[in-house]
């Protein structure tokens, strides 16, 4: 048993029933169906994901947080009540601002990390470092290495170069980014995704992304701006 795991919290992987549950939810995303199959969700999806997050937090440091399954539909045209993926974060890790992300859905287990939100001052520092030849080339090399290992590098991005930047900049692809994250998915087998396969996948994925995260921590870092008001408060105001 891994250090810090109690019997009731042990992570044993995701059984085939977990992935079947997601497929059925996609076919009938209703409160009636979810209520009738809540026990399967809790046993096969929620509890294993909670145990996995707790295990990672014990190994890596930080705080585990499992997102709620209900969707916030107040500002969405899509009124389906439940997310078709279950995910969580390990946040507040020592030495980095990047949380570790884990998600399970019908198509498997996704592991990722990166800077998923960039405030205006962070974005300014990001673009300045991408523009500078030495630091920009270092990030481009880290991204290329991750992608060569099967990791997808993505995030919110502009369709063209930011205003004031040349469209033929050698690293225009990176300059277009407003956030920068990366990850990789492991598809389930007929036996699901076992403990060893899940942990090996997550650890290897995060290791492949580590040079990108180190670059972001060094050249972007934390925002010094006050946080913006919540969307709900803006709407209510």
Confidence check: pLDDT of 9 > 80: no
Task: State pLDDT tens for residues 21-54.
Answer: 999 999 999 999 999 999 999 999 999 999 999 9
Angstrom distance (rounded) from CA 153 to CA 158: 15
At a CB cut-off of 8 Å and minimum separation 6, what does 46 contact?
66, 69, 86
Over its C-alpha atoms, the chain yields an Rg (Å, rounded) of 19
Task: State pLDDT tens for residues 54-84.
Answer: 999 999 999 999 999 999 888 788 889 999 9
When pLDDT is cut at 50, 70 and 90, the band that residue 1 belongs to is very low
pLDDT at 19: 98
Task: State pLDDT tens for residues 105-154.
Answer: 999 999 999 999 999 999 999 999 999 999 999 999 999 999 999 999 99
Instruction: Show the DSSP H helices in the chain as ranges.
Output: 16-27, 31-36, 38-40, 47-60, 120-131, 133-148, 172-175, 195-219, 231-236
Comparing C-alpha atoms, which of 112, 111, 121 is closest to residue 155? 112
When pLDDT is cut at 50, 70 and 90, the band that residue 186 belongs to is very high
pLDDT at 6: 56
When pLDDT is cut at 50, 70 and 90, the band that residue 233 belongs to is very low
Task: State pLDDT tens for residues 197-213.
Answer: 999 999 999 999 999 99
pLDDT at 2: 53
pTM to 2 decimals?
0.91
Confidence check: pLDDT of 223 > 90: yes
When pLDDT is cut at 50, 70 and 90, the band that residue 230 belongs to is low
Angstrom distance (rounded) from CA 58 to CA 162: 40
pLDDT at 29: 97
Classify domain 7-223 by CATH number: 3.30.930
* DSSP-derived secondary structure letter, 3: T
Angstrom distance (rounded) from CA 82 to CA 73: 9
């Amino acid at each position: 048993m891994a250090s810090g795991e109690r019997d009731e919290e042990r992570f044993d992987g995701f059984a085939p029933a977990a992935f079947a549950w997601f497929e059925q939810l996609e076919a009938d995303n209703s409160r009636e169906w979810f209520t009738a199959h809540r026990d399967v969700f809790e046993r096969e999806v929620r509890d294993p994901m909670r145990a996995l997050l707790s295990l990672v937090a014990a190994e890596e440091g930080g705080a585990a947080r499992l997102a709620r399954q209900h969707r916030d539909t107040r500002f969405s045209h899509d009124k389906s009540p439940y997310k078709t993926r279950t995910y969580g974060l390990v946040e507040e890790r020592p030495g980095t601002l990047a949380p570790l992300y884990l998600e399970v859905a019908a198509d498997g287990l996704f592991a990722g990390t990166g800077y998923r939100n960039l405030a205006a001052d962070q974005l300014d520092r990001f673009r300045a470092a991408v523009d500078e030849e030495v630091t920009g080339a270092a990030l481009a090399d880290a991204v290329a290495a991750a992608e060569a290992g099967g990791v997808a590098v993505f995030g919110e991005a502009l369709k063209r170069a930011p205003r004031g930047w040349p469209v033929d900049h050698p690293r225009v692809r990176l300059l277009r980014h407003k956030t920068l994250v990366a990850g990789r998915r492991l598809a389930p087998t007929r036996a699901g995704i076992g403990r060893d396969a899940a942990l090996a996948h997550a650890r290897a994925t995060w290791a492949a992304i580590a040079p990108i995260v180190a670059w972001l921590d060094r050249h972007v870092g934390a925002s010094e701006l006050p946080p913006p008001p919540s969307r709900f408060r803006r709407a209510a105001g």
